[in-house]
Amino acid sequence: MIVYQSTKEGFLEDVLNNEIDTKINQAFYDHLGRHTSPNEVLSWTNSMMHMGNVLRDDEIASNAGISIEFQIPLTSQRIDFIITGLNEHQKEQVIIIELKQWSSAQLTDKDAMVRTRFQHGETETVHPSYQAWSYAALIESYNQTVRDEQINLIPCAYLHNYNPDNVITNPFYSYHTSKAPVFLKSDAVKLREFIKKFVKYGDNKDILYRIENGRLRPSKQLADSIASMIRGNREFIMIDEQKAVYETALSLTAKARSDKKMVLIVEGGPGTGKSVVAVNLLAELTQRGQVTRYVSKNAAPREVYKVKLTGTLKKRMIDNLFGSSWDYCDVPENTFDTLIVDEAHRLNMKSGLYQNRGENQVKELIRAAKFTIFFIDNDQQIHIKDVGESNLIARWAEKEGARVQRLKLKSQFRCNGSDGYLAWLENTLQLKETANIKLTSEEFDFRIVDSPTELRDLISHKNEVNNKSRLVAGYCWDWVSKKNPGTCDITFPQYDFGMRWNLTKDGSTWIIAEDSINEIGCIHTCQGLELDYVGVIIGPDIRFENGRVVTDVTKRSSMDRSIFGIKTMLRE
């Protein structure tokens, strides 16, 4: 998606007439159905005037393409400013410019991270050169048109309010500034010459049109990449908050000691890359020789990762990389350098099959390591005994004498990068009011079908591409096939539909088993894992009644252990 698009000539005319911010804002509303913040509008007003000054040169083709706020495919991130055209050899060029209004920054000891002031105070953020480079790298990774047609992507950053100092251009960041040069307040002419070096002829907006409408390569899935990552290869480009979390975690684990514990709480919604950062940290810290383990309550991610690692590492080493949240009741204090706790909202109070071991899983995880990082979504608890919650973790950390830091992941990497999809879903299910009343078909492939048979056929068809589509359902149907394997569990006689649960045959790895397309998985056992397409059968525990979305726990199967004890709880 491109919010604003024109030629250089049209852009300069909009700048001259003081219409550029109004046109971008209107285009933003036309594309996204909402206006942006006054601060972002003000940033357009300021930054576009500076870009107008830079581009006001006859040697830059008047029909060169100008695009503002281009959404990177498969993410929710947008590129500030793009110039497209051809160089003197008629080769296609795309200049990606990250614009900043910063006037100062401070050095940090973290790779590609600086500290600067925003509206609500100072904070650490990625260096603009890294940001521009990572955006270009993402496009190159996922856009087949860029690769096939050898379109050259040139990233850079322009800080038009920033006076030269020894921070933003410090040699500490030279690796990143060499990949994406940074231009400061006094560098307008240098930036102009930089642009002229790559764009001599115009393209009439054609290049970015082909990129936007070009074929995308399938996005990588974490489980398929884990073996390569553990071997030290970079499989995912971490951008913005992901990079900040990753570098902060590396810094804290280096500082943590037995008498100086560290705890990092990372909050993020679905699809924000929590597990990607977690596994990247597991790989990096293992490479560094740390005693590190990936921990989760849900066995499914761990077991899937173990299967994917089989044949690349010895079984004992694989087993040592992963652990259940149950495993730390009796572990001596500071046994581990780092524990990486994924899906921390699923943590329980006590451990063991009968929930009778230990005191509190959060406390025990913090005690067991010098540094513990919790990846959490406070809205994703699904079990009556789930107690993982950010404030609870912070309280236990303080009791254990640990220093606590909190960060957030916001950028969306699932749902075709659509923040709007999740906001629309929250509004539709009446979880919270949002401005996203409608879902546009361009953002995300979402369909409601009239029968489970139609849903099964759709998912089966999608699965033929790469075996990454599955059917799931809430636990509203008894598991009768457990004793009678020939019996269907989930039935809709009126549609001549019947299928079995996949609860034992493939265990926690059902989501990657080739023939599990013929059975239905439980929503509990796919949390934290990825699919290209998922078909969801909604049971009688959720319905629309008198203008409200109603949930009814009494409609769940009596075999669903996630609600054992809820009747007693409701009476109390």
The average pLDDT across 382-400 equals: 92
Strands ordered across the beta sheet of 65-71: 2-7, 65-71, 78-86, 92-100, 152-159, 182-183
| Residue 129 structure tokens | 């050169």
Q: Are residues 157 and 186 in the same domain?
A: yes
pLDDT on residue 199: 96
- Whose tokens are 């609860």? That residue is 503
SS3 543: strand
Q: Is the pLDDT of residue 320 over 60?
A: yes
Asked if residue 156 belongs to a domain, the reply is yes
Q: Is the pLDDT of residue 414 over 70?
A: no
Q: Is the pLDDT of residue 571 over 70?
A: no
The average pLDDT across 97-111 equals: 96
Out of 39-43, 113-117, 311-315, 412-416, the most confident range is 113-117
Return the minimum-mean-pLDDT range out of 320-329, 339-348, 433-442.
Answer: 433-442
Q: Are residues 385 and 348 in the same domain?
A: yes
pLDDT on residue 239: 87
Q: Are residues 355 and 313 in the same domain?
A: yes
CATH code of the domain containing 242:
3.40.50.300
Asked if residue 293 belongs to a domain, the reply is yes
Strand ranges for 342-381 from DSSP E: 369-376
Asked if residue 555 belongs to a domain, the reply is yes
The Cα-based distances of 540 to 97, 169, 290, 503, 537 in angstroms read: 51, 60, 48, 20, 10
pLDDT on residue 412: 66
28: left (phi over 0), alpha (psi -120 to 50) or beta: alpha
pLDDT on residue 569: 66
Task: Please state the pTM of the whole predicted model.
Answer: 0.84
Strand ranges for 165-315 from DSSP E: 182-183, 262-268, 292-296
Phi and psi dihedrals of 376, rounded to 5? -145, 145
pLDDT in tens, 112-157: 999 999 878 899 999 999 999 999 998 988 888 898 999 999 999 9
The average pLDDT across 39-62 equals: 93
Asked if residue 128 belongs to a domain, the reply is yes
Q: Are residues 30 and 86 in the same domain?
A: yes
Q: Are residues 50 and 147 in the same domain?
A: yes
Q: Could you tell me which of 402, 538, 551, 377 has the C-alpha nearest to residue 471?
A: 538
Q: Are residues 35 and 80 in the same domain?
A: yes
CB 136 within 8 A of CB 96: yes
- From CA 110, how far away is CA 172, in angstroms rounded? 9
DSSP one-letter string for 372-441? EEEEE-TT---STTB---HHHHHHHHHHTT-EEEEEEE----SGGG-HHHHHHHHHHTTSS--S--S--T
- From CA 98, how far away is CA 82, in angstroms rounded? 9
Q: Are residues 386 and 452 in the same domain?
A: no
Q: Are residues 193 and 107 in the same domain?
A: yes
Phi and psi dihedrals of 95, rounded to 5? -95, 120
Q: Is the pLDDT of residue 559 over 90?
A: no
Return the minimum-mean-pLDDT range out of 4-18, 107-121, 153-167, 547-561.
Answer: 547-561
| Residue 218 structure tokens | 């399938």
Q: Could you tell me which of 267, 295, 413, 434 has the C-alpha nearest to residue 351?
A: 295
pLDDT on residue 383: 82
The Cα-based distances of 198 to 54, 88, 153, 437, 564 in angstroms read: 14, 8, 10, 43, 65
pLDDT on residue 442: 60
* 234: CB partners within 8 A, 6+ apart: none
Q: Is the pLDDT of residue 441 over 70?
A: no
Q: Are residues 77 and 179 in the same domain?
A: yes
- From CA 478, how far away is CA 480, in angstroms rounded? 6
Strand ranges for 452-554 from DSSP E: 469-473, 490-492, 497-499, 520-522, 533-537, 542-545, 548-551
Q: Which percentage of the chain shows pLDDT scores above 90? A: 57
Q: Is the pLDDT of residue 522 over 90?
A: no
CB 11 within 8 A of CB 205: no
Q: Could you tell me which of 421, 544, 526, 543 has the C-alpha nearest to residue 473?
A: 526
Asked if residue 568 belongs to a domain, the reply is no
CB 15 within 8 A of CB 48: yes
pLDDT on residue 231: 84
pLDDT in tens, 266-289: 999 888 889 889 999 999 999 999
Which of 169, 193, 212 is the C-terminal boundary of a domain? 212
Q: Are residues 375 and 474 in the same domain?
A: no
> What does pLDDT average to over the chain?
89
Asked if residue 486 belongs to a domain, the reply is yes
Residue type present at position 523: I
514: confidence class by pLDDT, cuts 50, 70, 90: confident
Q: Are residues 477 and 398 in the same domain?
A: no
Which of 354, 379, 409 is the C-terminal boundary of a domain? 409
567: confidence class by pLDDT, cuts 50, 70, 90: low
pLDDT in tens, 168-226: 999 999 999 999 999 999 999 999 999 999 999 999 989 989 998 877 766 677 778 88
Asked if residue 94 belongs to a domain, the reply is yes
The average pLDDT across 361-375 equals: 97
- Whose tokens are 């048979």? That residue is 453
Which of 212, 246, 266 is the C-terminal boundary of a domain? 212
Asked if residue 427 belongs to a domain, the reply is no
Q: Are residues 474 and 528 in the same domain?
A: yes
pLDDT on residue 435: 64
| Residue 543 structure tokens | 């319905």
Count: domains in the chain: 3
Domain of 77 in residue numbering reads as: 2-212
CB 176 within 8 A of CB 247: no
Out of 63-67, 204-208, 221-225, 413-417, the most confident range is 63-67
Strand partners, 79: 70
